[in-house]
Amino acid sequence: DKAPLLPRTVVLVGLMGAGKSAIGRRLATRLHLPFRDADTEIEAAAGCTIAEIFARDGEPVFRSVERRIITRLLTDEPVHILATGGGAFMDPDTRAAIRQHGISVWLRAELDVLVARTARRTHRPILNQGDPRAILGRLMEQRYPVYAEADLTVVSDERPPDVTVELVIDALEA
Ligand code: S3P
C-alpha cells in the first residue's frame, strides 16, 4: 500500500453529516498520518462543548476561536488529516488559512444523506434551532457555492466509508 507523501495537511470541509470526521479518521489510518478534529480541539481549548460556546458566547465568538485553532493546527502541526466543522470554510479568514496551508477536500453529500446522518446525534446547536431538513437545505444553498472553491470535491454518499476514503486518495493522487 503506497502512502503518498503529502506536502500539506488535508483539510476536509463540507456540511454537518457529510462524514468529515468518520472519513477523516479512516483516511488518516490509511495514509499513516495523524488525525485531528477541529471541533474536538476547540472543545479542549475552551474547556466546554461547542453547544455551550454557542449558547454562552454566541456564534461570532465560536468562529473566532475556530479560526485561531484551525490556523494553529495548519501552521504548528506536522502534516495531518484535519476534519473541520461545517462552518469553518465559510469564514473568509479561516478559508484563506486553509487555502494557504492545506489541501482542501469538499465531501459533498445529498440532503437525504445529511439528514439521516445528523439525526443520530443532537449535539449540533445549529440543527437544534428548527427543522433539521429545512436548516440543512438552506445551508446547502448558502454554502455549496463556497465549498465548491475547495481544491478537490469527492461525493460522500451511502457507500461504505472505506470506498469514499479510496475516492479521496484517488483525488489526492490525480
Ligand atoms: C457547524 C458545524 C459543526 C460545529 C458547529 C457549527 C456549522 O461541526 O462546528 O456546530 O456551522 O456547520 P460538524 O460539521 O462537524 O457537525
Instruction: Please compute the mean of the pLDDT values over residues 101-126 and round it to a whole number.
Output: 92
Identify the residue with better confidence: 27 or 158: 27
Q: List the beta bridge partners of residue 102.
A: 9
- pLDDT value for 3: 47
Q: What is the predicted ipTM?
A: 0.97
Residue 100 has pLDDT above 90, yes or no: yes
Residue 130 has pLDDT above 70, yes or no: yes
Ligand 1 and 81: CB distance under 6 A: no
Ligand 1 atom nearest to CA at 143: 12
Helix axes 59-76, 92-101, angle to 10 degrees: 10
Spacing, Cα 1 to ligand 1 middle (Å): 33
Spacing, Cα 57 to ligand 1 middle (Å): 16
- pLDDT value for 5: 58
Burial class (CB within 10 angstroms; exposed 0-12, middle 13-18, buried 19+) of 5: exposed
Ligand 1 and 42: CB distance under 6 A: no
Backbone angles phi, psi at 18, to 5 degrees: -75, -15
**pTM of the prediction?**
0.94
| CA distance between the termini of the chain | 17
Domains defined for the chain, CATH in brackets = 9-168 (3.40.50.300)
Ligand 1 and 126: CB distance under 6 A: yes
Return the number of other C-beta atoms located less than 10 Å from residue 168's C-beta: 23
The set of cell numbers assigned to 95 is: 478559508
Confidence of residue 120 (pLDDT cuts 50, 70, 90): confident
The percent of residues in the chain predicted with pLDDT above 90, rounded, is 89
